[in-house]
A and B are shown apart, each in its own frame.
Chain A
Amino acid sequence: MSRQNKSIEEKTAELRKLVSWFDGDQFAIEEALEKFKQAEKLAEEIEQDLVTMKNEIEVVKRKFDSE
């Protein structure tokens, strides 16, 4: 799945994973800048998604006044 198709929840999870990498044993300063750039981009994408996306409201056709 490309990043463009990821949901806000998935992007948020990815951001959390990146942040936890900085606190973990795998942390290496050589990779940190690249990971930081990825985190920055994810935060921008989350903002963009939340600003541009709308909620999709759909009233179901079924009537509930009888079985």
Chain B
Amino acid sequence: MEKSKNPTVVYSVSDFIAVLNQTLEFAYPVVEVEGEVASFKVNQGKYVFFDIKDSEGSVNCFMTVWQLRMPVEDGMKVIVTAIPKLTRWGKFSLTVRVVRPSGEGAIKKSFELLKAKMAAEGLFEPERKRILPPLPKHIGVISSTDAAGYADFIKILDDRWSGVRVEVANVQVQGAGSADQIIRAVNYFNQQEVLPEVLVLIRGGGSADDLSTFNDELLIKAIAGSRIPIIVGVGHETDETLADLVADVRAATPSNAAQILVPDKKEFISSSYSTVRSLVPRMLQTIEQQKQGVRHLLVGAIGLTGQAIDQEIIKIQSTNMVLSQLDPGKVLTRGYAIIRGKLKKGEIIEIETFKDILKVEVKNVTTK
């Protein structure tokens, strides 16, 4: 029997599906497809099903809830990163790894939905915010070392302060996988034996799509769960990301993050000297107060001494007066006389008056 030159291969159904999947895997290992979400649903809290469609067609999509990093709802325009696959039931599906919003409207919508969700979980509450160390000695920086924002941060840090140990985790700050890299960096610093005192997450300005990395749900939760306080400085002053909102401190820009983190050394030195100089008037004031106190005491002491002396003088004068009253000579001037000798009949006695001394004989003595 003659054999066919081009024999047709007959596959079993499962082999056919396997071969087709191999072909798809070879031809389209990963695809990115843009479209509008329809029939979005989550089964058993684990499995996510939706269709992605445009005006001409529709494709089924499947993923797990853990892979879904942004809120999705019907009508939202998204880009899915996925692996095309034929299921064993012969249904074509995209096994989705990443969903990201597409277009300004969808980015904004996604941002608002996630913001509301995170706010409902209390992640933006002011009570959660921690105070940064006033003079950090050891900081961890999470950024791309090629980014302009990183260069700005280091320049301002060097200009303002010295003696800081800066550990830098070089990560991608935009595009697919960037949020995961930042999460790993946050976890890396949190697992170190010696923790940095503060983490700094920075990147310069960019489009809404570039900054969407900082609106990733798992990244928001990683920042919220960090043991180390985090300052986030992403984009320009007008840009707002959810990473900003969940951070302990929000900086308007990477440069602003450095300004918040450390004081200006020139001002610090000047302030130190000024503090020391302020002690001089305090010392002089104290010396003056003490001088016045001593002076006051001296005046008081002199006054008291004078009073005591005056009192003594008065006493002496008074005593003098008494004594002068008792002076026999004074008594004689008042007409009295002093009698000396025995008052006995026939005795000769002496009588002294103010002017004379008389010798007289006692003729008679009569007791009163």
Mark A residues whose CB is within 8 Å of B. 7-9, 12, 15, 19, 22-23, 27, 29, 32-33, 36, 39-40, 42-43, 46-47, 49-60, 62, 64-65, 67
Q: How does the 8 Å CB contact mask read for B262-275 relative to A, with 1 for contact and 0 for none?
A: 00010011001101
Chain A residue at minimum C-beta to C-beta distance from B185: A64
CB–CB A65/B154 < 8 A: no
Chain B residues near A64: list those with CB within 8 A. 169-171, 181-182, 184-185, 188
CB–CB B279/A19 < 8 A: yes
Q: Separation in Å of the B88 CB from the closest CB of chain A?
A: 30
Chain B residues near A9: list those with CB within 8 A. 134-135, 137
How far, in angstroms, from A14 to B83 measured CA to CA in the complex? 63
How many interface residues does chain B have, given as a range?
A: 35 or more
How far, in angstroms, from A32 to B281 measured CA to CA in the complex? 12
Chain A residues near B164: list those with CB within 8 A. 55-56
Chain A residues near B322: list those with CB within 8 A. none
What are 8 A-B contacts with C-beta separation under 8 Å? A8-B163, A23-B282, A32-B286, A50-B162, A50-B163, A50-B269, A60-B167, A60-B169
CB–CB A7/B166 < 8 A: no
Interface of chain B, main secondary structure: helix
In the complex with contacts A46-B272, A55-B158, A58-B165, A36-B172 CB distance below 8 A: no
How far, in angstroms, from A3 to B211 measured CA to CA in the complex? 46
Of A49, A51, A60, which contacts B168 at CB under 8 A? A60
Chain B residue at minimum C-beta to C-beta distance from A52: B162
